[in-house]
Amino acid sequence: MKKTIHFISLLCLSAVLFTACDSGKDELLYSSSTYKVYRDHVTQGDFEAKVISSKEMTSNYKSPLQDAYSRAVEFKFSINGKDDELTYGINHRIVIHPENGSFTTKTMKFGEPWAMTEKVDQMDWLEKNTKVTFKLDMSPVLDAFKKQGYYTDIHGEKISKEDFKGVFIAGGSAPLRWDFENLSEREQLLDKDGDGIYEITFMMNAPDPEKQTSPVWKSSKKIDKYPTFTSDIPLVDALYNLALNELVADSEADGTFRTGKEWGGVWTRDISYSIVLSLSILDPERAKTSLRKKVKRNRIIQDTGSGGAWPVSSDRVTWALAAWNVYTTTGDKDWLKEAFKVITNTIDDDMYIVYDKQTGLMRGESSFLDWRKQTYPRWMDNGDIYRSMNLGTNVVHYEAMKIAERMANVLGKSKEMNQYGELATNLKNAINTHLWMDDKGYYAQYLYGRNTMMLSPKFEALGEALAVLFDVSDSKRSAEIVTKSPIVPFGTACVYPQIPGIPPYHNNGIWPFVQAYWNIAAAKTGNGTALEQGLASIYRPAALFLTNKENFVAEDGDYMGTEVNSDEMLWSLSGNMAMIYHVFYGISIDRNGVLSFHPTVPAAYKGVKELKNLKLWNNELSIKLSGFGNKIKSFTIDGVQDDAHAISLEKGGRHSIEIILADNDITTGTSSNKVANRFHLETPQAELKGEELTWEKVEGAVSYEVVKNGKVIQKVSGTTFTIPKAVSLEEYAVQATDKTGYASYVSEPINVGPIVAKNVSSISRANKKIAIDGAPSGTLELSKSRNKKVNFTISAKEAGTYFIWFSYANGSGPWNTDNKCAIRSLQINGEEAATIVMSQRGTDEWSSIGLTNRMKVTLNKGKNKVSVQFEGHNENMNVDVNTALIENVYFGKAE
């Protein structure tokens, strides 16, 4: 379905080749084979957005998906909202030919793939408002419940009869969605007559007016309190005013910013990235109020997320970036003191729980890329994600440490200044040591694995941009990043290449706020070629859609193809206005309140620009900018020449600043790595059969690489590999490589070698009482009131480095959200050795047993005292509920 839609979309986009309009005023800002941006309009195929005035625009854009709806529908069934029916990449398929407006599928059997093989013409759409009934025979599951009390799913996971909440449907044709974790009653099949046949009916290809963009935008909000911007480019002026209108719409009565039209409330990373881009300049008081909403126990709140939030997700420190920007735009020392305490408490906890001693990096999910299947191989569970080390997340941790250092400097706290400065330096070195890729000229997406880590060599846009902006990369590497990173026709994709079989969102998606950070990075490096494309990638969608959408499809530039979207997105509109503040004007304010300018204006955007009513500290500034380039020819403050190109904000007052650029062409000698959007190969699914590592052939693969303990040891053309007998715990996986050399993700790692398993309840003296219904036998309850400390002994045949982990259950919440991840400290022989993370596995699914993160520890020969205990730094985001059932301990000697 998705492939068909994107094919049609691309046909629409490429149907017309353009030439510039004859009118002399139609000056071109950017041109590509898919769209063009002019000073007063944007064209893409037959679509055109026009500027009527600085307060009005029109657009005839119509998403190709408004009409495109294939007769072929792919889907899967799901128990308890998990992708647990069929093997990854295998779906059911029906071709709908309705009679009298209705269609009923044959009765499918759960776990048995069924596909109608009829070929469908790409222009043969399903009739609108077709009623489709799906029928499912659940006897394989129900019989297993009756016979043995549980059903074993396709991945080998046991689902107990008591944990069965229902069967659901997921798919790629609206109203179906491939969002397993968020399936609800809307997608639940029911057995109304008790015969084991479950049914559900949908109205398919039903028109949805809410998904259509407006053809006209007119300014309707009171925006005169904000800085005004005018220029010789009507398009930029109008889109700036459109963003201000949407900013007002996102301003709540309680003094906070909402996240977008469809997203109420304050979200830590959303508000933080938005404040850094523009909001600290536009409305610092509302920014402060919003940030205070995200503080608890004088620590930053990690929003509800994967596995129960922190520490699986650990990018809450984006708050620090915003807090610092609020200080630099206001000079508010009371705010600085307040924020410093919150930031340092958070960093201190993270150094206990998130810091990885082996690499010096910080663990946790990709910053903002927080939907597991969108940016991780599907075998990775939340424990694996906690164990991974992501570029963007590490860069924001680094900058948070640098901010703590700067704040301590301003507050006269020399001890803390040195402490956090040293942490930042060490983390910066670790990022450059472990994540930089010389052969590509940019950083890797993340380190991932289970026992041992290996690089994912994919490009991650936000992390790369932030590395440039926060000086994690030196000037040489920064220039390489902007020059060599892959840029697709519609902009900078969140990741590259894309994951096959995953619908667009983070995967195969472009997010304007990420594009904004990328543009600021391009401006910093002086790469005019990259910047021109980046600016067009901001202005095209805002003009055609007449709103600041959260995202659009990387492949075709359309807003309707992504999993979730919204108008009036706070970080998107903030990114739009950031092009004025942080690119054209290059505004920067240091810890001492010195405002400096580093303007970057491509030649196509030349002319006069005026920014008025800009309020910083106790100043009201009017700033006139003329010319193009990134070199300042003349800089005056209140008519007086100033060679420092800066003004101190401490004294306050009204000032007029005029900047004249030297008209140097910033595209000269620069380039951008423009590439076609592409997908890497499917992840192999490997298994161990005796001494043979085997896997199914991956379509498009020309070879396979066998990975042992995180390193490639052999390239093979077949689908088997003989594993030598292991005397220690080893880990094997395989990845597929295509004809261009791009590799898939590695398969789920397989342990080989001796593993010792002990039941914790049997070898410990602990409270065996369990207050949780449905708890499996042989488990211990760990809570804030029960078994806060569990002691036991394990024996090692020889001294050395070991991997250790536990089996556990956590039914406090769903896989993908909430805030009740259970956390404990692991002590070995009296020393704190590691953190045990027991992420949520499903609401009330206390019989669902999973495995914790793998931990590397040192054991002595003979007996070793082990303690699993709750410490103050183990508090999770919920605070009240920090509960898990612990079952077995496993350990094996590392190679």
Residue 26 has a pLDDT of 54
Residue 305 has a pLDDT of 86
CA distance 143 to 157: 17
Q: What is the mean pLDDT of the chain?
A: 95
What is the H or E stretch that residue 431 is in?
A: helix 414-434
User: What are 607's two structure tokens?
Assistant: 């002319």
Q: Which residue has the tokens 């529908």?
A: 73
pLDDT at 18 over 70: no
705-743: pLDDT as tens digits: 999 999 999 999 999 999 999 999 999 999 999 999 999
Contact present, 738 and 851 (Cβ < 8 Å): no
Q: State the pairing for strand pair 619-626/653-661.
A: parallel
Q: Which residue has the tokens 């609800």?
A: 184
Band of the pLDDT at 334, cuts 50, 70, 90?
A: very high
829-886: pLDDT as tens digits: 999 999 999 999 999 999 999 999 999 999 999 999 999 999 999 999 999 999 999 9
pLDDT at 20 over 60: no
Band of the pLDDT at 67, cuts 50, 70, 90?
A: confident
User: What are 101's two structure tokens?
Assistant: 């407006």
More confident residue, 39 or 210: 39
Contact present, 103 and 44 (Cβ < 8 Å): no
CATH topology for 756-893 is Jelly Rolls (2.60.120)
Residue 8 has a pLDDT of 39
Q: What is the DSSP-derived secondary structure letter of residue 701?
A: -
Q: How many CB atoms lie within 10 A of CB 212?
A: 13
Domains 686-751 and 756-893 share a fold: no
Cβ-Cβ contacts under 8 Å for 868 (sequence gap 6 or more):
760, 782, 789, 790, 806, 824, 825, 826, 827, 836, 886
What is the H or E stretch that residue 159 is in?
A: strand 158-160
From the centroid of its chain, how far is CA 116?
Answer: 35
pLDDT at 601 over 60: yes
pLDDT at 16 over 80: no
Contact present, 637 and 659 (Cβ < 8 Å): no
User: What are 165's two structure tokens?
Assistant: 């909440």
User: What are 794's two structure tokens?
Assistant: 């394990």
Q: Which residue has the tokens 């694995």?
A: 449
Instruction: Quote the pTM value.
Output: 0.92
Residue 236 has a pLDDT of 98
pLDDT at 247 over 60: yes
Contact present, 171 and 86 (Cβ < 8 Å): no
pLDDT at 562 over 50: yes
Cβ-Cβ contacts under 8 Å for 851 (sequence gap 6 or more):
383, 805, 806, 807, 808, 890
Decide: helix, strand or coil at residue 447.
strand
110-129: pLDDT as tens digits: 999 999 999 998 788 999 99
Average pLDDT over residues 346-373: 96
Q: What is the DSSP-derived secondary structure letter of residue 696?
A: P
Residue 227 has a pLDDT of 98
Average pLDDT over residues 620-639: 98
Give the domain ranges of the chain: 2-65, 70-204, 255-484, 686-751, 756-893
CA distance 381 to 839: 9
CB neighbour class for 199 (10 Å; exposed up to 12, middle 13-18, buried from 19): middle
CA distance 811 to 551: 33
CA distance 249 to 251: 6
Residue 123 has a pLDDT of 80
Q: Is the dihedral of CA 117, 118, 120, 121 positive or negative?
A: positive
Residue 66 has a pLDDT of 83
Residue 23 has a pLDDT of 40
255-484 has CATH 1.10.357.10 classification: no
Residue 15 has a pLDDT of 36
User: What are 810's two structure tokens?
Assistant: 């956590």
Q: Which residue has the tokens 């956090």?
A: 420
686-751 has CATH 2.60.40.10 classification: yes
Q: What is the DSSP-derived secondary structure letter of residue 162?
A: T
pLDDT above 90 coverage of the chain, percent: 92
Decide: helix, strand or coil at residue 587.
strand
